Amino acid sequence: MALIPINIKDGSFKQEDVIVGIDLGTTNSLIAIIDSNTKKPKILKANFDDILVPSIIYLGKNKQTIVGNKAKKHLIEEPQNTIFSVKRLMGKSYKDVVENITTKSYKIIDDNNDSLVKIEVEGRYYTPVELSSYILKELKNIAETELNNKISKAVITVPAYFNDAQRQATRDAGKLAGLDVLRIINEPTAASLAYGIGIEQNQNQTVAVYDLGGGTFDISILKINEGIFEVLSTNGDTNLGGDDFDHEIVKYWIENFFDNQNLKINNFDMQKLRIEAENAKKYLSEHENFSIDISINSRITKLELSLIKLEELIKPIVDKTIKSCFNAMNDAGLKNSDIDEVIMVGGSTRVKLVKNEIKKFFEKKELHDKLNPDETVALGAAIEADILAGNRKDILLLDVTPLSLGIETMGGLMDVIIPRNAKIPQSIAKQYTTSKDGQSNLRISIFQGERDNVSFNRKLGEFNLTGIPAMPAGLPKIEISFMLDADGILKVKAKELRSSVEQKIEVKPQYGLTDEELEKMLLDSLLHAGEDVKYRSLTEAQTEAEQLIYTTLRFIEKNKNELSNDEIEQTNNFVEQLKNSIKSESKDEILKAHDILNDFTKPFAERLMDKAIAFAIKGKKID
C-alpha cells in the first residue's frame, strides 16, 4: 500500500518521491526500495516465484517485446530474436566484442569497426542502450505495479570496471526507460552497503567484495572508516562469470558424450545444451552427481557431470579470479591478513569451489554470504537511493579512477591531471601556455593511460580553445580543469585566464576499453617504465630546444638593430648547432647545445629584457 500525500492548498496529489535501486545485471536484473514500514531494503517482484528478472529480451515479429522469464523460453525456439548478455555490449564497438561473438546466437552488425555495436533482429537495428532500456522499463513496471505509484528516479549499479562510455550508456538506457538516473554506483560498493558494513559510525574495517555473476567479475577492496566508504582498489574482468562455467561444461559434453567427432550442432540444440549445462552447475552446488537424457540432432544422449569433474573444468576460471584478487590487494598495498571481512556477491558464488578458493586466498574461516547473493547488489542500490533521498546523511561514498587522465603536451607527452587511483568525485586544474606567438587556437587532446607517450594511451576526445587574444608565446595562462563526477564521467574545461575565453566538453568516448586492454595498459606502463623515462626526458629536451630556437630567432629578428653583427652571427651558429643536436636523439648533446646557446644569449637577452622570453621559459606548452 502506498501513501499518497495530498497538497492541502491546491488539492493536488503529491506523489511520494520514491527512488528505486536497480541492479542491471548481465544475467539477471532486480529492482529494490527501502520498505517504508520496516526501513529495510527489499526486492520488488512481479509475482512470488520470479524474484529475478532474467536480462533477456525477446523481439517478436509484430514489434512486441517481451522481457524476463517469458523471453527466456524463446532462447531455444528463436535464438536470433532473443537477446541475452546485452550488458557486455554496452558502450562497445564491434571491434571490442568481435572475439566473443561466437558465443552469441543473435546477429551483431559489423558495418563499421569503430562505431558502437548494433544488433539486427528481423531487419531492424537495435542498440544495446535501447535493449537495456527494455529491461529497465520492465523493472519500472514491476515496481509501479507493486507500489501503485509512479517511479521516475533511480540509482543503477554497474561493474567497478565500467568506463565512461559504459556508464554513460547505462545512464542513457535509464533515460530512455523514463528514469532520471540520480547516480551510477559500483556494484561492489552497493554490496558492502547491503551488508550494513560501515553504517555504524565508529566501525573501521577493510573489506574485500568478491562479485562473480553470470557475465562479470569484480573484486574491490574497500576501506570503511567512520561511515566513509573508500574504494582502495578494484580489479576484475567484465567478460568472466558463470556463463563461462556453462561454456566449459558444454564443451566437455560435446567432446566426451557424442560419438561423431565432426558432429554439427545447430543453434537450437546449442542453446538446449547451454541451458542444461547451467542446470547441471546449479544442481552441483548442492549435490555430487548430475545426469540427464537430452535429444540432440534428434538422438537421445545421456549427459553426465560429477562435482569433481565440474571443479576440474572450472578451476582455471576460478584461478583467474584469484589472480585478480591478488592484483587488487597489490594495488591497495595490503597483505591478505589486513582484510577484515570478505563479502560474496553474485549467483556464481554459490559454487563450492569458488567459496573454498576465496576462503583459502583471504585466509578466512567465514565469508559474508548470508544474504541471497543474487539480491545483494540491488539491496545496496536501494540503500544508496535512500542516502540520496536524504534519509541517511551520515554516509558518504568515495570511489577511485582506474587509469590516469591527462592531456597531450608538446612533443606528444602525456601530462597527467587526475592520477590513477585518485578518489572520485575529483576536480583538478593545471595551468598551461602557448608555444607560438599570436597563437589564437589551442587543441586540447584528452588521454587516459599510464604511458608517457600519448600514442600508447587511449584518446578520450579533443576540442579547440579558440579566440585566444593575440599574445606572445608563453604569455597566455590557460587553465585546464578536469572534473570527474561520482559516476566516473569526465568534464574538461579550458579557460584562458587573462581574457576569460573558455571552452568545455563532456567526454563521451566512442567505445570502451575491454578489461584485457585496461590490464594491458597498466602492465605496459610497468614494463616500459625505464623506456618511458628516457623517452620523456629526450622529448622534453627536444621540445625545450625547439622552443629556445623559436624564441631566440624571434628575439634576434625583433631586436636586430640593438645587436652587433658578431652577436647575431654567433647566435645563428649556436642555433644551427642546437638544431643538429635535436636530430642526434641524444639528450646530453641537446642539453649541451641548449646551454651553450642559452648562456651566450642570456646577457643580451637580459639587456633587452623581453617579457615574452621570460614567460616562455616557464610552464608546459601545448602545441
User: Which residues contribute to the site for Mg ion (CB under 5 A)?
Assistant: 25, 213, 346
Which residue of 327, 348, 426, 435 would you call a contact of ligand ADP, by CB under 6 A? 348
Phi, psi of 508 (to 5 degrees): -125, 90
Pick from 309, 243, 316: nearest CA to 278:
243
Q: Which of 96, 138, 211, 496 is catalytic?
A: 211
Name which of Mg ion, ligand ADP, none residue 509 binds, using a CB cut-off of 5 to 8 Å depending on partner kind. Answer: none
Q: Rounded to 10 degrees, what is the CA torsion of 245, 365, 185, 38?
A: 110
Binds 243: which of ligand ADP, Mg ion, none (CB < 5-8 Å by kind) = ligand ADP
Which of the ranges 75-83, 208-216, 311-319, 474-482 carries the binding residues for ligand ADP, by CB under 6 A?
208-216
- Minimum Å distance from CB 377 to ligand ADP? 7
Q: Largest Cα–Cα distance of the chain, in whole Å?
A: 101
Question: What three-state secondary structure class fits 175?
Answer: helix
**Cβ at position 25, least distance to Mg ion in Å:** 4
Q: Where are the alpha helices (DSSP H) in 258-306?
A: 267-283
278 vs 301: CA distance, rounded Å? 17
Nearer to ligand ADP, 51 or 563 (CB): 51
- Kindly name the residue from 78, 87, 96, 589 that is annotated as catalytic: 87
State the nearest-atom distance from the C-beta of 236 to Mg ion, in Å. 12
213 contacts ligand ADP (rule: CB under 6 A): yes
Partner from Mg ion, ligand ADP, none binding residue 411, C-beta < 5-8 Å depending on class: none
Cα–Cα–Cα angle for 108, 488, 480, nearest 5°? 115
187 included as an active-site residue: yes
Q: Which of 215, 449, 474, 509 binds ligand ADP (CB under 6 A)?
A: 215
Least CB distance from residue 371 to Mg ion, whole Å?
Answer: 13
| Pick from 386, 249, 228: nearest CA to 306 | 249
Known catalytic membership, residue 595: no
In the bound state with Mg ion, the residue whose beta carbon lies nearer, of 21 and 213, is 213
From the list ligand ADP, Mg ion, none, partner contacted by residue 619 (C-beta under 5 to 8 A by kind):
none
Helices 267-283 + 242-257 axis angle, to 10: 110
Quickly tell me which residue has 556463463 as its cell.
243
615: Cβ–Cβ under 8 A, 6 or more apart, which residues?
Answer: 433, 472, 473, 474, 475
525 binds, among ligand ADP, Mg ion, none (CB under 5 to 8 A by kind): none
Pick from Mg ion, ligand ADP, none: which does 374 bind, CB < 5 to 8 A by kind? ligand ADP
Cell triple for 105: 546466437
Pairing of strands 204-212, 341-345: parallel
Work out which of 164, 276, 278, 386 binds ligand ADP, going by CB under 6 A: 278
Q: Which of 68, 174, 346, 619 binds ligand ADP (CB under 6 A)?
A: 346
Can 436 be counted among the known catalytic residues? no
**Can residue 285 be called a binding residue for ligand ADP (CB under 6 A)?**
yes
Assess contact for 441 and 399: CB atoms under 8 A: no
Is 85 or 401 the residue whose CB approaches ligand ADP more closely? Answer: 85
Pull the grid cell for residue 330: 597489490
Specify whether the CB–CB gap between 590 and 541 falls below 8 A: yes
Q: Assess contact for 15 and 24: CB atoms under 8 A.
A: no
Name residues contacting ligand ADP, limited to 362-391 (CB under 6 A).
374
> Quick one: 375 or 544, whose CB is closer to Mg ion?
375
Q: How far is the CB of 212 from Mg ion (least distance, A)?
A: 9
Residue among 166, 142, 145 at smallest CA distance from 156: 166
Q: Which does 281 bind (CB under 5 to 8 A by kind): Mg ion, ligand ADP, none?
A: ligand ADP
Residue 476 is classified by DSSP as -
Sign of CA dihedral 420, 508, 158, 516: negative
Between 278 and 408, CB nearer to ligand ADP: 278
- Sites for ligand ADP among residues 434-453 (CB under 6 A): none
In angstroms, give the least distance from the CB of 475 to ligand ADP: 54
Cβ at position 254, least distance to ligand ADP in Å:
19
Determine contact, residues 230/102, Cβ cutoff 8 Å.
no
Q: How far is the CB of 184 from ligand ADP (least distance, A)?
A: 15
Size of the residue set binding ligand ADP (CB under 6 A): 21
Binding partner at 174 among ligand ADP, Mg ion, none, C-beta below 5 to 8 Å by kind: none
Which string of DSSP letters, residue by residue, matches 229-240? EEEEEEEEETT-
Rounded to the nearest 10 degrees, the angle between the axes of helix 529-558 and helix 565-584 is 160
Burial class (CB in 10 A: 0-12, 13-18, 19+), 538: middle
448's grid cell = 587516459
Least distance (Å) from Mg ion to the CB of residue 242? 10
Q: Which residue is nearest to Mg ion (CB)?
A: 213
| Binding partner at 242 among ligand ADP, Mg ion, none, C-beta below 5 to 8 Å by kind | ligand ADP
Contact 278, 246 (CB under 8 A): yes
Query: Pick from Mg ion, ligand ADP, none: which does 28 bind, CB < 5 to 8 A by kind?
Result: ligand ADP
Asked about 315 being catalytic, the answer comes back as: no
* Residue in 433, 516, 522, 513 with CA at minimum distance from that of residue 480: 433
* Nearer to ligand ADP (CB atom), residue 210 or residue 535: 210
Q: Which helix (H) or strand (E) holds 290?
A: strand 289-296
Question: Does 27 interact with ligand ADP (rule: CB under 6 A)?
Answer: yes
Residues in contact with ligand ADP by CB under 6 A are: 25-28, 213-216, 241-243, 278, 281-282, 285, 346-348, 350-351, 374
Residues classed as catalytic:
23, 87, 187, 211
